[in-house]
Amino acid sequence: MIIFVNAKINIGLQVTARRPDGYHELSTLFYPIGLRSGTPYSPQPFCDILEVTELPDAETTRFTFTGNAIDCPLEKNLVYKAAKAFEEALLRKTGKAMPPFDIRLEKHIPDGAGLGGGSADASLTLKALNELTGAHLSDEDLIETAAGLGADCPFFILNRPCLAKGIGEIMTPVDLSLEGKWLLIVKPAFGIPTREAFAGIDCGRDHADTLAPLCLNPAEWPGKVENEFEPHIFEAHPELPLIKQTLYDAGALYAQMSGSGSALFGIFDSEPDLSPDAFPSSRLFKIRL
């Protein structure tokens, strides 16, 4: 089985509380991106490639990673952790052991970007193993398993626009559609470590509902739909607000940092015409939604 793994953007993001287990409560809208990347509709590829094949004569599952370098030991890799978590869930739910698989990931979605690439790899590994083993675990079971892997992981089980609460596992699908619009993602050469991103968050302050305006046209979101990571991350990395302003100057209806960064995106009515020279030391990805 070969799966083209998409990413996501956060549209608006609030962190409302810190939990005793170290996770943070949040409020955000997850929107999938890259679902049709590499097709004539959206020609520029923007996905990871996951291949999962059963190994009937092997004793253990085998993992191979190519493409962008993944800088962590195998036991901390989210695809590896997803396979182990599914193995435990399968045994718990059905009493059956998981057969060995050959799991290969070709990595292209940039990491440290707030685009959920690693989380998507993990969740789509769960979904692939669920199908290939014939386990028929429900979406609720998979979401529960995914929540143990990371805050963005549950979203990719549903993989459709959702308002998310809790650590991201309490999801309400919404009818928001940006189909036909264009997304320009600007990924600086650096990422934002999770520790740095959350260090500047004040979980005790009052939070207005900044996601309410999402029923409006994206052109009405600026100044109303906010990512509260931006102020302190922009202060530490002054090139980021310059990127955001450049997106607006080029005609973006709305521009924002995704998740805890460092990638920023602009939503456009038509295909944006921006040279890479406008964003020194950054990678650009153009996606039709």
Backbone angles phi, psi at 175, to 5 degrees: -90, 10
Give the span between the Cα atoms of 145 and 50, in whole angstroms. 19
Selecting among 107, 152, 187, 286, the annotated active-site residue is 152
Contact residues for 152 (Cβ-Cβ < 8 A; gap 6+): 8, 30, 116, 119, 120, 168, 259
Angle made by CA atoms 179, 8, 205, in degrees to the nearest 5:
110
Tally of CB atoms within 10 A around 39: 11
Reference 110, options 31, 197, 188; nearest CA is: 188
Beta-strand ranges (E) seen in 7-161 are 7-18, 24-33, 48-54, 62-67, 101-107
Which residue type sits at 92?
A: R
Catalytic residue list contains 8: yes
Contact residues for 40 (Cβ-Cβ < 8 A; gap 6+): none
C-alpha distance across the termini of the chain, in Å: 25
Residue pair 12/28 in contact (Cβ under 8 Å)? The answer is yes
Catalytic residue list contains 165: no
Residue pair 165/26 in contact (Cβ under 8 Å)? The answer is yes
- The set of catalytic residues is 8, 152
